[in-house]
Amino acid sequence: MLKATSAHLKSLGLTGPGLIIDEARARTNIRDMADKARRSGVVFRPHFKTHQSPAVARWFAAEGVDRITVSSVRMAEQFAETGWRDITIAFLLNPLEAPRVANLAAYLGRKGGRLGVTVDSVAAAKAAAGLDVDIWVKVDTGYGRTGVPWDATSRLDEVLAAIDRPAGLLTHAGQSYQARGHDEILEIHTRTVARLAGLRPGLKISIGDTPCCSTVPEFAGVDEIRPGNFVFYDLMQLQIGSCTENRMAAAAVCPVVGLYPERNRIVVHGGAVHLSKESLETGGRRIFGRLGTLHFPAGGRNIGLGGILDEAPVVSLSQEHGVIEGDGAITGQLAIGDLVLVWPVHSCLLGGLQDNVTILA
């Protein structure tokens, strides 16, 4: 199947490194999350940093999505240019970018839209107070990266006091990425919502991690959800229990540049800049991805992403190189210049391959 996969990828004119997306799988992921949000009566504001693609964005619009999340001012500007009008920048506001944010907010306002920003300090709150934007206060509910600690109520009071309008409370429960199994994910979600709800009753609550949003049956006590990774999922989400294998919708296309059967090694042009710094502990070792194949249905139509080759893990990454372990059964199927699919541990960094995207329709 590796040889057939390579031949088909070459027939598409691919040379790699690149990103390949299974449209049917991604659309199913989008539809299911949008339906869950509607059933729960919450705003669905998906994070677009995972795909960063105007084409994929249209699949969201087809499901009625009209509000989005991004991770930078630049990304907000890009999606504003393609017609999106209600945008929240979930990355903390940099006061040095306030003039640029003001310009974008004014542009969206003229189009009947709205810009939201995120703060967790008095300094950023004061900078945001001078802008015509919606303001969300980032709360750390246990992840430990950014946000006002959920139990630091006096600090939260200070940040809210520096804001001259009603604000909302926003969190990213990134600790859910360390969970394994539904029960642990549900526990994190329940604790996250309870910590936010106990802070300032009446303020809107926005949550955003894929494991919780994928696993919980409904979003009681929440006003808005912002998952992003769910559009593609990945090996990490599979291990966590957030998805099944047939929901993984994106992989990297990498050319084989080195074959070393005496060492059971394959080297591809596909490194940390293409895949991810993230890794998984599995079988007592750390891996950075796995080889995969295409699925060829009978009749040769609707070719899509296929299976995961557990016996061919990515065992190390440098900036441009990926080293894959494979015995003779794997290396014997490949030649220098062949193309392989690599399932990523974390799919969000695949968005950096936007200049070379192929969609399997």
Query: What pLDDT score does 215 carry?
Result: 96
Identify which of 252, 225, 212 has the alpha carbon closest to the alpha carbon of residue 18: 252
Task: Tell me which H or E stretch contains 256.
Answer: strand 250-260
Identify which of 356, 297, 360, 262 has the alpha carbon closest to the alpha carbon of residue 52: 356
The class of domain 47-227 in CATH terms is alpha beta
Residues 6+ apart with CB under 8 A from 216: 185, 186, 189
Beta bridge partners of 205: 169
**Regarding predicted confidence, which is higher, 33 or 355?**
33
Task: Tell me which H or E stretch contains 32.
Answer: helix 23-40
Query: What pLDDT score does 282 carry?
Result: 87
Query: What pLDDT score does 360 carry?
Result: 96
Identify which of 239, 210, 229, 235 has the alpha carbon closest to the alpha carbon of residue 305: 235
Q: pLDDT category, 178, cuts 50, 70, 90?
A: very high
Q: pLDDT category, 77, cuts 50, 70, 90?
A: very high
Query: Token pair for residue 250?
Result: 């994106």
CB neighbourhood size of 113 (10 A): 18
Query: What pLDDT score does 298 carry?
Result: 83
Distance between CA atoms of residues 100 and 106, nearest Å? 10
Average pLDDT in the 306-331 region? 96
Averaged confidence pLDDT in the chain = 96
Average pLDDT in the 123-130 region? 96
Secondary structure letter of residue 216 according to DSSP? -
Distance between CA atoms of residues 223 and 228, nearest Å? 17
Residues 6+ apart with CB under 8 A from 99: none
Identify which of 101, 14, 43, 15 has the alpha carbon closest to the alpha carbon of residue 360: 14
Q: pLDDT category, 161, cuts 50, 70, 90?
A: very high
Secondary structure letter of residue 165 according to DSSP? S
> Is pLDDT at 352 greater than 90 in this prediction?
no
Query: What pLDDT score does 257 carry?
Result: 98
> Is pLDDT at 354 greater than 80 in this prediction?
no
Identify which of 298, 279, 302, 281 has the alpha carbon closest to the alpha carbon of residue 289: 279
> Is pLDDT at 273 greater than 80 in this prediction?
yes
Distance between CA atoms of residues 117 and 94, nearest Å? 10
Which amino acid is it at 208? G
Average pLDDT in the 54-76 region? 98
Instruction: Give rounded-to-5 percent helix, strand, coil for the chain.
Output: 35, 30, 35
Query: What pLDDT score does 16 carry?
Result: 84
Q: Coil, helix or strand for 85?
A: coil
Task: Tell me which H or E stretch contains 92.
Answer: strand 86-92
Average pLDDT in the 54-75 region? 98
User: Residue with structure tokens 């990828």?
Assistant: 9
> Is pLDDT at 41 greater than 80 in this prediction?
yes
Contact present, 358 and 55 (Cβ < 8 Å):
no
Secondary structure letter of residue 47 according to DSSP? B
Task: Report the percent of the chain where pLDDT is more than 90.
Answer: 93
> Is pLDDT at 85 greater than 90 in this prediction?
yes
Query: What pLDDT score does 283 carry?
Result: 84
Contact present, 189 and 212 (Cβ < 8 Å):
yes
**Each residue of 5-20: pLDDT tens digit?**
999 999 999 998 999 9
Distance between CA atoms of residues 76 and 81, nearest Å? 9
| Architecture of the domain defined by 2-21+244-360 | Beta Barrel (2.40)
Distance between CA atoms of residues 190 and 97, nearest Å? 35
**Each residue of 187-222: pLDDT tens digit?**
999 999 999 999 999 999 999 999 999 999 999 999
69-104 CB burial, b ≥16 within 10 A, e <16: bbbebebbbebbeeebbbbbbbbebeeebbeebeeb
The alpha-helical segments, DSSP class H, found in 198-302 are 210-215, 235-240
Query: What pLDDT score does 102 carry?
Result: 98
Distance between CA atoms of residues 190 and 169, nearest Å? 16
> Is pLDDT at 95 greater than 80 in this prediction?
yes
Query: What pLDDT score does 107 carry?
Result: 98
Query: What pLDDT score does 29 carry?
Result: 98
Query: What pLDDT score does 206 carry?
Result: 98
> Is pLDDT at 355 greater than 90 in this prediction?
no
Distance between CA atoms of residues 36 and 93, nearest Å? 30
Going from N- to C-terminal start, the domains of the chain cover: 2-21+244-360, 47-227
Beta bridge partners of 210: none
Query: What pLDDT score does 277 carry?
Result: 80
